[in-house]
Amino acid sequence: MKFIRVANKSDFDSRRMKSFRILGRPVGVFKAEDGSFHAMEAGCKHQHADLTTGEVRGHAVTCPRHQWRYDLRSGECLQGQPGTLRRHGLKLEGEDIYITLHPLEEQQERHEFNLDDEMDQERQQDISPAHGPLRQDHG
């Protein structure tokens, strides 16, 4: 499982969420109220609003647009709506936060199909902080 460093714990001293583009996909790192960190897709399953501009309460993030809530530990929508956000593995080493390059669900597929790590190393340059909202749809 390939981990990449994305942030410092201190980046979350005054915020609870931060978004990144990883391999072209929006991924959010979230700090729950108990101080635990979680990483998962940042685009809401409803209309793709950026969840990292929402609100974290307990172990849930609320979408800023229509208030769907997602469990940070499982990615499940707490309103029972279809679609679960894909989670990334996350580990802490000292002050550094690392997440898996691929969602956990893909890790199993990659393992099954024997995809190599060299491709992942080349793709690490595709990681950057996201700038601005992920999508600006209104309605």
Per rule CB under 6 A, is residue 77 in the interface with ligand FES? Answer: no
CA 2 to chain centre: 15
111-120 contacts, C-beta under 8 A, 24 or more apart: 117/2, 120/2
Calpha distance 33→15 (Å, rounded): 11
- 47 touches ligand FES by CB under 6 A: yes
Tokens describing residue 31: 């700090």
Query: Among 12-20, 40-48, 95-103, 117-125, which window interacts with ligand FES (CB under 6 A)?
Result: 40-48
Residue 66 sits in the site that holds ligand FES (CB under 6 A): yes
Helix (H), strand (E) counts: the chain: 2, 11
**134 interacts with ligand FES by CB under 6 A:** no
Tokens, residue 36: 């635990």
**Greatest Cα-to-Cα distance within the chain, rounded to the nearest angstrom:** 43
Indicate whether 63 belongs to the interface with ligand FES (CB under 6 A): yes
Binding test (CB under 6 A) with ligand FES, winner from 7, 17, 44, 72: 44
| Interacting span for ligand FES (CB under 6 A) from 59-67, 89-97, 100-108, 119-127 | 59-67
Decide if residue 27 touches ligand FES (CB under 6 A).
no
Q: Which residues lie near ligand FES (CB under 6 A)?
A: 44, 46-47, 49, 63, 65-66, 68
